[in-house]
Amino acid sequence: MFRLIFGVLVGVVFGVIGQVSSATASAAATGTNSTSSASNSSCVYDNSAQPGSIFLLSPNSNDIEKSATVVGGNLNITWSYNSDTTIPTKINIYWANVPVSNALVAASAPTAATFYSNPSVASSIPGSQTSYIWKVSGLQPGNYKLRIVGDGIDPSYYVIQHPGEVQCYKSNQAFPATSLSTFVVAGNTQLVTYQNNYGPSNLGVAIIPTQGMFLALFFAILLM
């Protein structure tokens, strides 16, 4: 009797183990494990895919009124999308300083990581808005660029954070836009006023000596 009961129990145990093994193998074969292919079906990984595009319209160096501001001033940021782009749900805007090596030649352009190393200009702007007024504060006078990112899709930054990997994105999702040229943030130093101690001339206006006038007087004295 004992042997009979023992044999039945052993049979039940091995039967359960066989069912678990079969279920695991079936799950692996159908892709229903933790790396389900369902999430990959909506994403595009190959470089031949055509993502959407964001166009950064302003600030624009071709329009001086839209390419410069002062610390504490406002800067109107505008953008658009190409016709095939799926409008992002949210837009984030980032800034980066572009140092200059001299008065004419700019240093190397900022990388994607440079933009993310600074506080964002704005985040979670509705993608359909396409404009934002930036109250510029906390920046030093200099040259700057902007980067607009929709729904966190930024493959250039993703590969820096995840070397060897490609960011998953859906077809026609907007790739980020970066300023093509720099815009200027100038200092907002108040002009210093000086008292006019020179009095009016015979013309009825005050004449303030200039460097040229002092040089002319100097040479006149030499020729006397």
Given this model, what pLDDT does residue 55 score? 95
Quote the Cα angle for 215-217-218, to 5°: 60
Given this model, what pLDDT does residue 222 score? 43
Given this model, what pLDDT does residue 62 score? 75
Show me where the domains of the chain are located: 49-185
| Residue 109 pLDDT class (50, 70, 90 cuts) | confident
Let me know: does 94 contact 147? Beta carbons within 8 Å.
yes
pLDDT digits (tens, 9 = 90+) for 140-190: 999 999 999 999 999 999 999 999 988 888 889 999 999 988 899 998 775
pLDDT digits (tens, 9 = 90+) for 23-35: 333 333 333 222 2
Given this model, what pLDDT does residue 41 score? 46
Let me know: does 113 contact 162? Beta carbons within 8 Å.
no
- Please choose, from the candidates 172, 128, 165, 127, the residue with its C-alpha nearest in 3D space to the C-alpha of residue 149: 127
Name the more confident of 127 and 109.
127
Mean pLDDT, the chain, rounded, equals 73
Given this model, what pLDDT does residue 33 score? 29
Given this model, what pLDDT does residue 60 score? 82
Let me know: does 132 contact 126? Beta carbons within 8 Å.
no
3-class DSSP string for the chain: CHHHHHHHHHHHHHHHHHHHHHHHHHHHHHCCCCCCCCCHHHCECCCCCCCEEEEEEECCCCCHHHCEEECCCEEEEEEEECCCCECCCEEEEEEEECCECCCCCECCCCCHHHHHCCCCCEEEEECCCCEEEEECCCCCCEEEEEEEEECCCCHHHHHHHCCCCCCCECCCEEECEECCCCEEEECCCCCCCCCCCCCECCCCCECCCCHHHHHHHHHHHHHC
- 48-52, 129-133, 199-203: range with lowest mean pLDDT: 199-203
Q: The whole model's pTM is what?
A: 0.63
Q: Domain 49-185, what architecture? A: Sandwich (2.60)
Given this model, what pLDDT does residue 65 score? 73
State the number of CA atoms in the 13 A half-sphere of 118 facing the CB: 23
% of the chain at pLDDT higher than 90: 43
% of the chain at pLDDT higher than 70: 59
Name the more confident of 17 and 104.
104
